[in-house]
Amino acid sequence: MIINVSNHPTDKWSSEQLQAARDLSGCGVVIDIPHPSVPAGANEQEVARLAWQVFDQIVAAQRRHQGGACDSCIVHLMGEQGFVDYLNQILRLRDVRTIYSTTSRAVVEQEDGTKVSRFRFVRFREYLSI
């Protein structure tokens, strides 16, 4: 199972990204847990509290899918840097694999001179530990 914790719900993913997630999941299950809104003025303890709340949601999702074809869990984790770092550390300490998506960006200049960026999913990459 892949649990997507990001500001980009899976219903907005390209078909290529969704298929890559299903293939990686081992069982085809990909679910969303929304990335929380992290206030810019939040202190470190508030960010940690949000990370623990999302961790609890991840554990609950794992339990709901336990015993079926999904015997492992991978978390796709992207978003506010401090939150992602803290939640990634929690998950890694509990032997949960964490990944992020990579994209290529093409900038297209419009007739009016504005530039529009288009992103194309390339692959998932695992967070590294030292």
The mean pLDDT of 65-89, rounded to a whole number, is 90
Alpha carbons 21 and 16: distance in angstroms, whole number: 9
Number of Cβ within a 10 Å radius of residue 114: 8
Q: For residue 109, name the pLDDT band (cuts at 50, 70, 90).
A: confident
Q: For residue 69, name the pLDDT band (cuts at 50, 70, 90).
A: low
| pLDDT of res. 25 | 92
Show me where the domains of the chain are located: 2-126
- CA atoms lying within 13 Å on the CB side of residue 68: 14
| pLDDT of res. 68 | 66
Summarize pLDDT for 1-23 with one digit per residue, the tens.
Answer: 999 999 999 999 999 999 999 99
